[in-house]
Amino acid sequence: MTTHLSKRTKLSKLKKIRKGFYLLICLFSFNACLLNPIVQSILCPNDDPSSPKSLFALWALLSSSNSVVELNHTWAGIHKGDSLQLEAQYYSYGAKTDTTFQWSSSNPSVATVDGNGFVQSIGNGKVIITATSGDGRAKATSDITVYTGYVYTSLNISHYVGHLTMNGNTGNLTANATTYVGNLSDPNGIVTDPAGKYLYTGNFGTGTISQFLINQATGGLTLNTPATVAGGTNPRNLAITPDGKYLYLASQGTQEIRAYAVGADGTLTFLTSYPTNTGYANVLISRNGNFIFYMNSTLTELISYRINYADGSLSQANISPTFPNGTSGHVSTHPSGNFVYVGSEPALTIFSFDSETGNMGFVDSVFHGMGINSTAIHPSGRFYYLIHMNEGIIACYTVDPISGKISYSSSVTGYSTNSMRFMVIDPTGRYAYVAANTGSNMFQFSINQTTGELTSIGPVNPGGAQWNLTFL
């Protein structure tokens, strides 16, 4: 009996020693975590990381990691004047938990939200609605676009701008009056400001930018005063910052990015230009509005430029890894802002994107072996489209929202070669429209919300052959 008691005592002591050892490891790991400079910068940028306040911050962080808010809509398109009911659910450690929510709107001039998650659209633009749990541990957001259902297209051969209105039930467009841009203007690029008050065209033939006022009741266009501003040689596509303060133009002939300030009356003031040493015509602004993307001189690397919102100036931020490219290509971004897609020939390339630094990292390259003129991404971020202009094909790919990688899904074929130019998708994600530069018909499609597959709903004549288009 004495021998057995001795063994038990020794085993008991050994267990206590092990527990103490494990406790020391945990404490050491905890302390190491607090001493990690990255953790310190996140939890206590100005405090002593060993203070009780910092310990509480880490505890709160660990607690909140098990708390989740889910919304019935993570994105939505709302017609101007319409409303949407958002509903939130709170889960703590996997269990649904009753709580109240605090609701907020990032831009009440676009849409407001009340204490019950009822969203009322006010004006054109994008807005983020946030629901925060009552204990403050978790929140979720819904990215909402308020639209009027107008499509504008540059009728470059006839030197007009076409204006169409979308039927919200069928997706079919109805052509309205066309507006004359100017003799030999050859309008190519076209863009509206986020608030839907102004429209601009890059006039390839006359080296100007035309400035239009948009009638808020009808969508009709009238030329602003002055009607044009200088746009360099052969101006092409344009982009406007999310706040509507600055416009950037890809000037193909002078091989530069031209920057303009947008006045309160919609008129443009030229600021400066940035030589690019390439006639690349696609200029795109990142989802958070902090960066512009543009190709390098060999068209085999993508450059990100940071936008200075104090004066509209640009500074180079990063250069992407090299990718194969035989044409000018087309750049688009994922709605999450985490990925950049470069549609080029003979493959499309995917980069990860850091929206704070502008850095890009290689994710994947997908061979397709056809020509490219335009790309588009569904507002859900689930589908990606390539316009194969030379082959008369529109290809659909499904997107993995976590990795950003894509896989081929379906195609629509049989369209005239060297015709299809650019594609836009309405903010609800139900319909797509493709400009065509032969004949007078614009192509219209419905979108399968499960597969992304396109189904033709027939053509529409906006008043002539089209080059580019924009959705408001």
HEC readout, 13-68: HHHHHHHHHHHHHHHHHHHHHHHCHHHHHHHCCCCCCCCHHHHHHHHHHHHHCCEE
Mean pLDDT of 117-134: 96
Distance of CA 33 to the CA centre of its chain: 35
The pLDDT-based confidence of 279 (bands split at 50, 70, 90) is confident
Q: What is the pLDDT of residue 26?
A: 42
CB atoms within 10 A of CB 90: 23
- pTM equals 0.85
Q: What is the pLDDT of residue 14?
A: 46
Cβ-Cβ contacts under 8 Å for 17 (sequence gap 6 or more): none
Q: What is the pLDDT of residue 345?
A: 86
Identify which of 75, 195, 84, 81 has the alpha carbon closest to the alpha carbon of residue 144. Answer: 75
- How much is the mean pLDDT over the chain? 87
**Strand order across the beta sheet in which 160-166 lies:** 173-180, 160-166, 150-155, 469-471
Q: What is the pLDDT of residue 438?
A: 87
pLDDT tens digits along 319-338:
999 998 777 779 999 999 99
Mean pLDDT of 449-460: 97
Q: What is the pLDDT of residue 373?
A: 85
Alpha helix (H) residue ranges in 178-321: none
Lowest mean pLDDT among 55-64, 128-137, 174-183: 55-64
Which of residues 306 and 346 earns the better pLDDT score?
306
Q: Output the six-digit token pair for 113.
A: 């939200």
Lowest mean pLDDT among 351-355, 402-406, 413-417: 413-417
Element (H, E) at 203: strand 198-203
- Residue 54 scores a pLDDT above 80: no
The pLDDT-based confidence of 65 (bands split at 50, 70, 90) is low
Task: Give the Cα separation of 385 and 377 in Å (integer).
Answer: 6
Q: What is the pLDDT of residue 3?
A: 38
Lowest mean pLDDT among 89-93, 188-192, 290-294: 89-93
Domains, in order of start, for the chain: 67-145 (2.60.40.1080), 149-471 (2.130.10.10)
CB atoms within 10 A of CB 213: 16
Percent over 90 (pLDDT), the chain: 75
- Residue 82 scores a pLDDT above 60: yes
- Residue 39 scores a pLDDT above 80: no
Burial, 179: exposed, middle or buried (Cβ in 10 Å; 0-12, 13-18, 19+)?
Answer: buried
Which of residues 65 and 304 earns the better pLDDT score?
304
Which of residues 62 and 331 earns the better pLDDT score?
331
Exposed e or buried b per residue across 29-52, where buried means at least 16 C-beta atoms within 10 angstroms of its C-beta: eeeeebeeeebbeebbeeeebeee
Amino acid at 229: V
Mean pLDDT of 47-69: 50
Mean pLDDT of 96-112: 94
Note whether 306 and 314 are within 8 A (CB).
yes
